[in-house]
Every structure is written in structure tokens, then in C-alpha cells.
Structure 1
Amino acid sequence: MIIRRDVFQAISDPTRRAILSLLAVGALTPNAISENFGTARQTISKHLQILTECQLLEQRQSGREIYYQLNPVGIKEVSDWTEQFRELWEGRMNHMDQLLKRNKSKKQ
């Protein structure tokens, strides 16, 4: 049995979120990714390993280079889970707006 890292713990790190944002544009090598950060390439490699273990990234070999890209299935899994909360909070905010509008119209 393969133990999968917690995806939400992984994306709680700002560097890993920044890496995901970079890769949303397209696949990059670890060197290209690390050029965007003021940390050692080894540190970025560790972040890439964690994101890959969480199935948020995929690796693709091209010659000697390894390219990292977003895994749409993993990203969708996170999106689907968070969507339920967005809908819940949107509903609550809409309800609050309606209450505030009613109270405002009663005072006028």
C-alpha cells in the first residue's frame, strides 16, 4: 500500500503554491522553476517531490531533462473538495446580504 501525502498540507506551503502557479502556464524543468525562487535547487526539488507524491504534479522525461507539469486529475480533486465550501459560504453571504437589505429598508 502506498501512503499518499496530505494534499492540503502540501498546498499550505506558499512556495509550493507558487510552483503550482508557475506550472499552470506550462511544463518546466526543475532548473527553470528554481530560477524563480531565492532558494537552492535542492529545496525546490524537495517541494517538487512532495507535490508529485500528492499527485498534483506529473513528471515527463524529454531526453536528459525532466519536465514537471500540473496533473489535472489531482488539481480537480482539490478543486472539487473546496467547491462545496465555496458554495456554502456564497449561500451564507447571499443570505446575509438579503437580511442587511431588509433591515436597511425597514429603517428607511
Structure 2
Amino acid sequence: MTGAEFLTVLTTTDSAAKAEALARGAVEARLAACAQISAPVMSVYHWQGAIETAQEWQVLLKTTAACYEALEAHLTAAHDYDTPEILALPVVRGNVPYLAWLTFETTPPA
């Protein structure tokens, strides 16, 4: 099992509670096998003509390429940002038993 079939999807939000809701919703919907929430990070970015600085919580979601479109739609609908950060990073290699678990957890029950 390699690369193109697995992704780590990244998003950010402005509170721990919102990060947990995004993570929990994606896992409950089986769009991600798991999610990790990082402690607050400082983001610096351009927004509406100004440079902004904000504290955000980063959510990393482990999923398959087959789930990406549905996961992106789910995050977009659940997010309260006008333009949420949603980035998919390919998994180049991974532990085969972990990737098998990831596939199992993102496959809806028959």
C-alpha cells in the first residue's frame, strides 16, 4: 500500500471546541479514520487587504483518496470560516497494517 490512495487532510479553526467538532464529525461520518488536533498555533496571513494574526487549532485527518471529495464537502459545510483551509497531502508510504485499518475505518458498513 502506497501513496496516492491515502491522504492527510489539514484544516484549521479558531477554537478547540470547533476543532473537536470538525474532527468528530468527519470520523463519525467515516470520512476519516482518525483526526489529531494540535495545540494552538499562530497563523499569519493576508485577509481582506490586511495582514492578520490569529490563534488557531490545526486538525489533521487521515483518510483515503476515495473519501476526499466527501470529506472536503463535509468540512466546508461544517466550517464557519468564509474560506476554510482544506489541504490534502499525499501519504508517500505508510505502515501496511495502519493503512489497512485506515481503509477499513473509512469504508461504510455494508
Which of the two has greater strand per residue? 2
Larger radius of gyration: 1
Query: Fold match, TM over 0.5?
Result: no
TM-score range for the pair, normalised by the shorter chain length: under 0.3
TM-score (norm 2): 0.27
Higher percent of residues as helix: 1
What TM-score do the two structures reach when normalised by structure 1?
A: 0.27
**Relative contact order: is structure 1 or structure 2 higher (C-alpha 8 Å, sep ≥ 6)?**
2
